[in-house]
Amino acid sequence: TFAKITQAAHYVPENVVSNDDLSKIMDTNDEWIYSRTGIKNRHISTGENTSDLATKVAKQLIENSGVDPELIDFIIVATVTPDSMMPSTAARVQAQVGATNAFAYDLTAACSGFVFALSTAEKLISSGAYQRGIVIGAEVFSKVIDWSDRSTAVLFGDGAAGVLLDNSGSQPLIIAEKMQTDGKRGGSLLSSYADIQTPFASVSYEGSNLSMEGRAIFDFAVRDVPKNIQATLEKSDLAAEEIDYYLLHQANSRILDKMAKKLGVTRDKFLQNMQEYGNTSAASIPILLSESVKNGIFSLDGQTKVVLTGFGGGLTWGTAIINL
């Protein structure tokens, strides 16, 4: 049995916030943001929560495929900004779309979350245990950002995107994969601590907003991620040139420049849309995938070889080389 991605969809809040809009509420400017990150705009929720964005994606996947929601076996949502811990965002989506026979859970791997969740979903199907599932990356990062910290507030955006999978594949969905974690370096990208305030303990963590050691994360991305991609390519017996497109986490356009150079691959193969969405964490890779299908860059006809690579909090990073 082989899993196959049969549908992709994305949804972002309507509210567009430009670099100039941000320069009116914090000490920054379009030139600095665009030259250092490649970001021009980001979509910021005006009240929609993560499950609302994820539900809109799931509804599109179901409507566009015509699948009966009662035939969906599982829903996995990759997010670090859930509406709540209980119920999970995936459980909320399950209720909203009427997937009454689906088990549902969230997966936390920050900006690697979609790749980690897709790897898991592929095993659920290719093992023969289940037939159909939905994998969504969804974030409302605007609710965890420290809006007084211009070094991070300008980088992130809100959004959701995902894929519908079934067992109709005639070839493996994942040709090769390699997922990694280094918890020792996790302190350089933090969010959403929960204090321990009880009759028996009093432990509070300074700031539960996002905090990032930008230089450390940038260097981690440039140093560790190309090695991971190369190691995954070696596992796949494919040369870098045989990959049609590289869909990397949309954190920073200068990082994509460096990746292309390190891998000796033309920059054009590294698709990008952070100019419009900023860094949407777990949603960034699936938004890029869904938009690329919608814009006709490639289709889901099984003829395209794509590298998906996430990297971020944990620290986590990972690549899946897939047949689309």
Ligand X SMILES: O=C(O)C1CCN(c2ccc(-c3cc(CO)ccc3Cl)cn2)CC1
Catalytically annotated residues: 111, 249, 279
- Alpha-carbon distance of 210 to 153, in angstroms, equals 9
Cβ 191 vs Cβ 221: under 8 Å = no
Q: How far is the CB of 81 from ligand X (least distance, A)?
A: 11
- Euclidean distance between the first and final Cα of the chain, in Å? 16
State how far Cα 164 lies from the chain centre: 15
Closer by beta carbon to ligand X, 221 or else 293: 221
Which residue in the block uniquely carries the two structure tokens 């986490």? Answer: 249
- Alpha-carbon distance of 165 to 149, in angstroms, equals 39
Q: How far is the CB of 241 from ligand X (least distance, A)?
A: 25
Q: How far is the CB of 68 from ligand X (least distance, A)?
A: 36
Closer by beta carbon to ligand X, 235 or else 254: 254
Sites of contact with ligand X (CB under 6 A): 36-37, 111, 155, 189, 214, 217-218, 221, 251-252, 255, 279, 281, 311-312
Cβ 271 vs Cβ 245: under 8 Å = yes
Closer by beta carbon to ligand X, 7 or else 252: 252
Closer by beta carbon to ligand X, 37 or else 89: 37
Closer by beta carbon to ligand X, 59 or else 254: 254
DSSP structure class, residue 156? B
- Cα-Cα-Cα-Cα torsion 77, 80, 81, 86, nearest 10 degrees, comes to 70
Q: How far is the CB of 219 from ligand X (least distance, A)?
A: 9
DSSP string, 246-305: EEE--S-HHHHHHHHHHHT--GGGB---HHHH-B-GGGHHHHHHHHHHHTTSS-SSS--E
- Cα-Cα-Cα-Cα torsion 216, 220, 223, 229, nearest 10 degrees, comes to -160
Which of 212, 190, 196, 217 shows the shortest CA–CA distance to 311? 217
Q: How far is the CB of 22 from ligand X (least distance, A)?
A: 14
Q: How far is the CB of 276 from ligand X (least distance, A)?
A: 16
Contacts with 49 (C-beta within 8 Å, 6 or more apart), sequence order: 83, 140, 143
Closer by beta carbon to ligand X, 243 or else 255: 255
Residue 73 Ramachandran class (φ > 0 left, ψ -120 to 50 alpha, else beta): alpha
Closer by beta carbon to ligand X, 179 or else 324: 179
Q: How far is the CB of 254 from ligand X (least distance, A)?
A: 7
Which of 138, 61, 132 shows the shortest CA–CA distance to 107? 138
The vertex-65 CA angle with 93 and 269, nearest 5°, equals: 90
